[in-house]
Amino acid sequence: MNQYDLVVVGSGPAGRRGAIQAAKLGKKVLVVEQGKRVGGVSVHTGTIPSKTLRETALNLTGWRERGFYGRAYRVKQEISADDLRRRLLITLDHEVEVLEHQFARNRVHNVRGKASFLDPQRLEIIKDDGERIEVTATSILLAVGTKPFRPDYIPFDHKAILDSDELLEITDLPRSMVVIGAGVIGIEYATIFSALDTAVTVIDPKSTMLDFIDKEIVEDFTYQLRDRNMKLMLGQKADKVEKLPDGKCSVTLDNGRVINCEMVLFAAGRMGATDTLNLAAAGLEADSRGRLSVNPETFQTTVPNIYAAGDVVGFPSLASTSMEQGRIAARVAVGVIAKEPPKYFPYGIYAVPEISTCGLTEEEVKERGIPYECGIARFRETSRGHIMGLDSGLLKMIFSLKTRRLLGVHIVGEGATELVHIGQAVLNLKGTVEYFVENTFNYPTLAEAYKIAGLDASNRMGEPK
Ligand SMILES: Cc1cc2nc3c(=O)[nH]c(=O)nc-3n(C[C@H](O)[C@H](O)[C@H](O)COP(=O)(O)OP(=O)(O)OC[C@H]3O[C@@H](n4cnc5c(N)ncnc54)[C@H](O)[C@@H]3O)c2cc1C
């Protein structure tokens, strides 16, 4: 009875997609999830909660209307942590329900408990009530994701000094906050809280941030953050974090500066959740950050019947890419051909403002020695931008001078994470600047920025030969 074609450990995006794919191919599948409900980090502490928080913050503050009504405009004067949580709980319930229904519909078995290896084909599962079960699987997909990195020198107290999982449980909105770590998670939360009128300081030992994003986009983004008084203390390290007797926190930097604040968010990295899997029993080993290495095309680990997908295999660590990885891994695991995904996938940073990007950055194009030209459009040049009262927002496209093909699209501003898909389609279909020049776009839309940027690039590039 406890024999499965595929056992999936973890029910986040990679596990969920992998399990459903194998079930649709007629396989007997079990998902093991140690959390209280299915969905993984993505549903409970990562993607969905942070994006719901962002949406609630933007709606309640009236952020999107401030271009017209001024910076003092608010939809709700006093916003509480309860206001934020209410929408979060409704969204999460809905996500979990959809997922449970998907599992039931596709006859995917699932069990709540912690899985660890007995050998490469056998897992032990300890359920919440202490019951122990053993399952055997032809193939195993490890989709265990990550957990926040919590170094010993940070005195986490679950109240004022928090990691990004705990941030979702706060009962009061802080008036001031220090965010340690200028990575994607740190920057998303820093800008969301800044939109809620929290005075935010971001600290990172690196002197630059979001290095994988086109530099011009990061410069525009940084300007916008500074313009609204967010403090970016880059190239400076937080040496000590303390809780003061009055309940406040203090952060001491390596240059001796001290910053006092009501809350500290430590968001400097995550670790692969492999420490409790007893990997040695399966002949596997994780790296120093708990990550597993896999064949990037098949997601097979060094043990042939064991696959790993999602954040546990490292970059890009996105829910979107994890789903695809899980699906491919499951297909290979049950012996069905899996096509390689298209070369370029979008990266979305749901900060305020949003950033989204697909393809090569200008820095990468230069590094590869490709002759290129750029086209730029500002959202305030579009009629839709005027209607929306936008005074910021930038879309940049990079084209090859030789082939006229689109090489990269980079956007900062309202709707960036949706708009990027137009560029992604053209990029993966190997389209040229002519696509943007010759096609008609709905008017008035922000997508018209593609037309404007296409014309800008084409004017500089001259007529096609
Ligand atoms: C704050 C934050 C914001 C994010 N925002 C975005 C975003 O906007 N867009 C985006 O694409 N991505 C975003 N991400 C990343 C996204 O959440 C992850 O890429 C995604 O959740 C990874 O999916 P996964 O399937 O690898 O595992 P996870 O979602 O991490 O799920 C792994 C599951 O495995 C379970 N598990 C672990 N070990 C065991 C065990 N031994 N036994 C049983 N179960 C186990 C865990 O309980 C967990 O439920 C964000 C992440 C964070 C933290």
Q: Name the DSSP letter for residue 377.
A: E
Residue 119 reports pLDDT greater than 70: yes
What's the 399 CA to ligand 1 centre distance in angstroms?
A: 35
* Residues constituting the chain: 465
pLDDT given for residue 338 in this prediction: 87
Print burial letters for 365-395: b (CB count within 10 Å at least 16), e (below 16).
Answer: beeeebebbbbbbbbbbbebbeebebebbbb
Ligand 1 mean position, distance from CA 149 (Å)? 14
What is the whole-number distance in angstroms between the Cα of residue 308 and the centre of ligand 1?
A: 13
- CB-side exposure of 5: number of CA atoms within 13 Å? 19
Q: Is the pLDDT of residue 131 over 80?
A: yes
* Tokens read off for 377: 């459009």
pLDDT of 1 higher than 70: no
Q: Report the alpha-carbon distance of residue 364 to residue 313 in Å, rounded.
A: 24
Q: What is the pLDDT of residue 249?
A: 97
Nearest protein CA to atom 38 of ligand 1, as residue: 144
Q: How many CB atoms lie within 10 A of CB 296?
A: 10
Ligand 1, residue 318: give the atom nearest the CA: 19
The token duo for 133 is 């079960």
pLDDT in tens, 51-74: 999 999 999 999 888 888 887 888
Q: What share of the chain in percent tops pLDDT 70?
A: 100
pLDDT of residue 276: 97
Burial class of residue 65, CB neighbours in 10 A (0-12, 13-18, 19+): middle
Q: Cα of 319 to ligand 1 centre, how many Å? A: 7
Q: How far is the CA of 143 from the centre of ligand 1 (A)?
A: 8
Ligand 1 closest atom vs CA 40: 49
**Closest residue to atom 5 of ligand 1, CA basis:** 47
Average pLDDT over residues 78-103: 92
Both tokens of residue 4? 């499965």
Q: DSSP letter string over 166-225?
A: GGGG-SS--SEEEEE--SHHHHHHHHHHHHTT-EEEEEESSSS--TTS-HHHHHHHHHHH
What distances in angstroms separate CA 101 from CA 39, 82, 104, 106, one per listed residue? Answer: 12, 29, 5, 8
Residue written as token pair 């910076």:
71
Q: How far is the CA of 389 from the centre of ligand 1 (A)?
A: 36
CATH 3.30.413.10 is the classification of domain 347-461 = no
Of 437, 390, 408, which is closest to residue 63 (Cα–Cα)?
Answer: 390
What mean pLDDT comes out for the span 371-378? 98
Ligand 1 atom closest to the Cα of residue 320 is: 11
Distance 13 CA to ligand 1 centre (A): 7
Burial (CB count within 10 angstroms: exposed 0-12, middle 13-18, buried 19+), residue 229: exposed
pLDDT value at residue 69: 83
Q: What's the 326 CA to ligand 1 centre distance in angstroms?
A: 12
Distance CA 121, CA 415 (A): 46
pLDDT (tens digit, 9 = 90+) per residue, 318-372?
Answer: 999 999 999 999 999 999 988 888 889 999 999 999 999 999 999 999 999 999 9
Of all protein residues, the one whose alpha carbon is nearest to atom 14 of ligand 1 is: 47
pLDDT at residue 165 in the model: 94
Strands 109-119 and 29-33, sheet pairing = parallel
| pLDDT tens, position by position, 202-225 | 999 999 999 999 999 999 999 999
Q: Where are the beta strands (DSSP E) in 63-159?
A: 109-119, 122-127, 132-142, 146-148
pLDDT at 66: 84
Quick check: 396 and 214 in contact, CB under 8 A?
Answer: yes
User: Does 3-146+271-333 match 161-268 in CATH topology?
Assistant: yes
Atom of ligand 1 nearest to the CA of 35: 47
Which of 144, 169, 292 is the pocket-test mutation for ligand 1 (most atoms within 8 Å of CB)? Answer: 144
Q: What is the pLDDT of residue 72?
A: 81
Angle subtended by helix axes 47-61 and 184-195, to nearest 10: 20
Question: Which atom of ligand 1 is nearest to 310's Cα?
Answer: 26
Cα distance between residue 299 and residue 140, in whole Å? 11
C-beta neighbour count of 237 within 10 angstroms: 14
Ligand 1 centroid to residue 11 C-alpha, Å: 9
Following CA atoms 51, 54, 56, 61 in sequence, which dihedral angle do they give, to the nearest 10 degrees? -170
CATH architecture observed for domain 3-146+271-333: 3-Layer(bba) Sandwich (3.50)
Q: Which of 36, 42, 149 to mutate to test the pocket of ligand 1 (most atoms within 8 A of CB)?
A: 42
List CB contacts of 288: < 8 A, sequence separation 6 or more.
none
Cβ neighbours for 182, distance < 8 A, ≥ 6 positions apart = 190, 202, 203, 204, 206, 209, 210, 232, 234
Better pLDDT: 129 or 148:
148
Which residues surround ligand 1 with Cβ inside 6 Å?
Answer: 9-15, 32-35, 40-42, 46-47, 50-51, 114-115, 143-146, 164, 185, 273, 276-277, 310-312, 317-320, 322, 348, 350
Residue nearest to atom 39 of ligand 1 (CA): 144
Three state DSSP letters for 386-452: HHHCCCCCEEEEEEECCCCEEEEEEEECCCHHHHHHHHHHHHHCCCEHHHHHHCCCCCCCCCHHHHH
pLDDT category of residue 309 using cuts at 50, 70 and 90: very high
Q: Cβ distance 38 to 48 under 8 Å? A: no
Omega within 30 of 0 (cis) for the link into 444: yes
Per-residue confidence (pLDDT) for residue 64, from 0 to 100: 87
* Mean pLDDT on 110-125: 97
Residue predicted with more confidence, 1 or 187: 187
Mean pLDDT of 96-119: 97
- Alpha carbons 157 and 169: distance in angstroms, whole number: 12
Domain 161-268 in CATH 3.50.50.60: yes
Cα 18 to averaged position of ligand 1 atoms, centre (Å) = 14
Domain limits of the chain? 3-146+271-333, 161-268, 347-461
Q: How far apart are CA 263 and CA 241, in angstroms?
A: 11
Give the per-residue pLDDT at 78: 85
Averaged pLDDT for residues 427-435: 98
What's the whole-number average pLDDT of the chain?
96
Q: What is the pLDDT of residues 219-276, one digit of tens each?
A: 999 999 999 999 999 999 999 999 999 999 999 999 999 999 999 999 999 999 999 9
